[in-house]
Structure formats: structure tokens, C-alpha cells
Amino acid sequence: MRYAMAIDTKKCVGCGDCVVACQTENNVPIGYCRDWVVENVAGTYPQLEVEIRSERCNHCENSPCVRCCPTGASHIVEGGVVLVEHNKCIGCGACIESCPYDARYSHPDGYVDKCTFCLHRVQKGQDPACVSVCPTNCMYFGDLDNPNSDVSKMLATRKYKVLAPEAGTNPQIYYLT
Amino acid sequence: MKEELIVSGRMNPGIDPYLHIWHWQIPLYLFLGGLAAGILFFTALYYILGKEKELPTAVKWANFIAPAALVIGLFALFLDLKHKLFFWQLYTTIRLSSPMSWGAWTLMLITPLAFIWSASYLRELVPKWDWKLKILYDFEALVIKYRKPLAWAIIFLSIILGIYTGILLSAFNARPLWNTSLLGPLFLTSGLSTGAAVIMWMSKDHAERALFSKIDLILITAELFFIIHLFMGFLASTQVQINAAELFLGGEFTVTFWVFVIILGLVFPGILEILELRGYKVPVAVPAILILFGGLMFRFIMVEAGQITRYLY
Ligand code: SF4
Ligand code: SF4
């Protein structure tokens, strides 16, 4: 089993609903967020190209955050989901330094926190909160090992990219381009 | 034009607008760790070489600085932790892939050894010292009897500790400035150099001072060599590493780095040491303090600048 997400940059309008849904679902402290929306503008006026991306932890297959964690608090569970065990985390910040995507933050309670792929929802057969609220339906979640999952079907038919592949992390959020 | 904006307004403290999760504690910890490693390395080395009489400062006295530096360094590391009550989790596991983990274990081993080593010389330093309990006298005798294996253990651990202070940073491939294997040897050399500077400063004996002055000169040269290689490597590498090098070659860290680390921290004390060896009167404290200051600045700048460097996407 390999959980992954595909996000359609051609459909995303940058409304930020995924951010609010995550904050509500996961009780993210006020002023913090586990996912965010980036607007990337490239080109010379008037030939500008805009790409809008909803970003979060990439649940990297080769995850530097797990490698650098001195206590094993950062670990990988079913489906390749990268989690932090709060009571093992000492808040040393090594994983925050090691993430090329700045996907982690230090929770006001001391431990490090980040996206969990809403594993608590996924285990019940639901989609992650961000995926389920997206008004344009531009996010697809599922198991890459299952060719019939939403995410596998999208990746089979569309062109896609991942962020900073040169970082060697093998990220599992795919952006459909 | 290429512009990237977080339109959902992410402002995670310590992460945005740029990464700044490590503050003064980590560079101080790296500096003190390197300093202790340097002192202990020379202490153990010259003990093994049988130079206890000729080089008393190196073997017997300077090592008293090491346990103090280690304890303060560990305390600084502790201050950096944000989930402090759980710090003992560090010592429930050994994770070889995490430098933070094996570094913490190295410190756990070398700190008591540094204390024991120094304690075995305490009665020479303070002749009136009384251990009060017989068992402590017995322990002292035991340590004195087994100083040789102890010195071997210390020399081994001190090299690991010195390299670790650099590898802690170089293991993070997300920070292009740190992500070079040169950082291990560079931090080790710098740590040895600060250690030699302390011994040189404390020594009352002319021959001993001259020896450590020479050692320091070699280490300073090696350090300059590594730094040149570091920049050559960056400039010949990927865009993110070129950007990292540019922070020091015209970017915001140019003045602090070249003035405080290279000129005041390496070149100038090097020249003073050469002058002293040539017979000019130079107060030994001046080059020693400059080297310590340069070593500290170097770590502050590396930690600070490294956190700004990142991947582009
Ligand atoms: S995105 Fe960052 S936090 Fe998430 S798995 Fe990759 S390295 Fe770890
Ligand atoms: S902050 Fe916590 S999760 Fe991150 S590396 Fe340190 S102990 Fe591991």
C-alpha cells in the first residue's frame, strides 16, 4: 500500500478551503497551518503563467525528517504515511531543518507537528479533509498500488511533476500539469 | 520573472518568512563541543606520547576546561529543545542515521570520561584537596592506573565529537549551504584549532606555547584550505549551492564572514603567531582570544546562513 495525492494545478483556483478544512479537522493551533496555497508566477508581462498549488507534507518515500530524528518520534506507518509521535518528540528541530518543503512546524505545546494525510479519516474509508472539501474537486487521494484508485487513474492519464525531485526525497504529492 | 507567493498566508512561527528554528543555542553548543573535543584530543594524544612532563598544560591543566565546556554545551542543547520534559527520549534509542542521536550518545560517553580524567589530576592542581571518602581515593588510584586506555577512549571519542559538530549540519540535504561532506573535517579542524589556542593561552612554558602555536598555524592553514575548497565546490555545483555561496560572496553575510571569521578569526591571529615565533613580543592572549572568537562566529554564521538556503521549486 502506498498512499499518495494528486493535485490538479489546472483546476485549482487558490481558494484556500483545503487550508481551513485542515485547521478545523485537525485542531491546528490558531496562526499555524499544515497545508498552504502557493501562487507561482513565471514569464514576462504580458506572457505570464500562473500555477496555483496546494502544498503540504509530501510523505516522502526517502524521508530526511525520519532519518534525522534522534528519537524515532518521526516514523513511517501504513501506506508510507510519515507521522510524529508527540510523546517521543523532544522538539530538537532536526526534522524541521531537514525538510526541503518546510512542511513541519513547532507546535506551541513543544512537539513537532505536520500533515498526517488525515490517517484517522482514511482508516475509516474517508478522504483527507482537504480533499473532501475542495470545491473544484482538484485533489485525488488513494493507494498507488491499486490501479483503480483515484490517484492512480489520474497519474495514468495526465502529465505530472513533483516538487524538488533533486532533493532525493521521492515525494508522494503529485502535481498534475 | 519568477515569483512565488504563499497566497493562503502561511506564517508558522520559526518557519516563515524564512526558516529560523535554531537560535543561538545550537551554534554555541557546536562551538563548545568542538572546543572540548580539541582540548581532549591534545590531552589524550600527548599523554599517550608520554609528554606529561614536557607539556603539563596540555596533559594536566587545560583538560579542566573540557568538562565545563561540555556541560554548558549540553545545557545549551537542552535549552534548544522545545519539548524539554521528553529529553530522555534521546537516550532510549540509538539511531545511526541521525547525527543528533549518535552525537548525543558520544557526549553522554565523553563527558563523564572528561570529568574522570580531570578529577585524577585534581590533587596535583590543588594539593590540599581531600576526597574525604576512601572509596574515592581507591577510584582515583584506579583511574591513574588505567590512564592509558582511558586516553585512547578519549582520543577516539574526541575525534567523533569534533566531526559530529560538522556532520550534524551536513546531514541536512534540505539546506544547501550545509549539505557538503567538507563540513565534518572543517568543523573538526576548527575545533582542534580552538582547543590548541586555549592550551597555548594557558601555558606558562615557552616551549609548550611555541609547540601549540605551531600546531595552531598548521590548523589555521588547513582551515583556510577547506574554506576555499568549500566555496569552489559550491560554485561548481547546483543552483541552490551557488546561491548558498553567493550569500558569502557579495550577499548579506559577506562582511561578517570575511571580516570576523577569515581576517580577525584566522589570518590575523595566524600572522601574530608567526611574529611571536619569530621572537616578537606578542601577548599570547590576543591570538588565542581571536581564534576562539573566530570559531564562535563561524558557527553562528553557518547556522544562521544555512537556514536561509533552500531548494527552489
Ligand atoms: S515533506 Fe518534509 S516532513 Fe514531509 S516526509 Fe518529506 S521531508 Fe518529511
Ligand atoms: S523535533 Fe521531534 S520529531 Fe523532529 S527530529 Fe526532533 S525529536 Fe524527531
Cβ pair A105, A32 in contact under 8 A: yes
- Looking at chain B, the number of H-run helices and the number of E-run strands are 12, 1
Q: Does the predicted interface ipTM exceed a cut of 0.85? A: yes
pLDDT of res. B46: 97
- At B17-62, the pLDDT tens digits run 899 999 999 999 999 999 999 999 999 999 999 999 999 999 999 9
Domain ranges of chain B: 18-81+98-308
Look up cell 601549540; give the residue: B212
C-alpha B140, offset from chain centre: 29
Segment A107-136 shows an average pLDDT of: 97
pLDDT of res. B172: 94
pLDDT tier at B199, thresholds 50, 70, 90: very high
Return the beta strands (E) in A95-159 as ranges: 105-106, 112-113, 139-143
Cis ω for the linkage preceding B17 (within 30 of 0) = yes
- At A80-107, the pLDDT tens digits run 999 999 999 999 999 999 999 999 999 9
pLDDT of res. B312: 84
Ligand closest to A169 (CA) is 1
What percentage of residues in chain B have a pLDDT greater than 90? Answer: 91
For a substitution probing ligand 2, which of A83, A87, A92 has the most ligand atoms within 8 Å of its CB?
A92
Look up cell 488513494; give the residue: A142
pLDDT at residue B197 tops 80: yes
Domains of chain A, first to last: 3-176 (3.30.70.20)
Segment B130-154 shows an average pLDDT of: 93
Residue of B8, B98, B310 lying closest to A69 (CB–CB): B98
Cβ pair A77, B66 in contact under 8 A: no
pLDDT at residue B105 tops 80: yes
Residue B236 Cα, gap to closest chain A Cα (Å): 16
Nearest Cα neighbor of B18 from B282, B307, B313 is B307
Query: How far is residue B250's CA from residue A107's CA, in Å, rounded to a whole number?
Result: 36
Q: CATH topology for B18-81+98-308?
A: Formate dehydrogenase/DMSO reductase fold (1.20.1630)
Nearest Cα neighbor of B189 from B210, B218, B211 is B218
Classify residue B278 by its DSSP letter.
T
Q: What is the pTM of this model?
A: 0.94
Look up cell 485542515; give the residue: A22
- Cβ contacts (< 8 Å) between B171 and chain A: which residues? 67-68, 98
Query: How far is residue B77's CA from residue B55's CA, in Å, rounded to a whole number?
Result: 33
3-state DSSP assignment of residue B73:
helix
Residue of A19, A37, A106 lying closest to B82 (CB–CB): A106
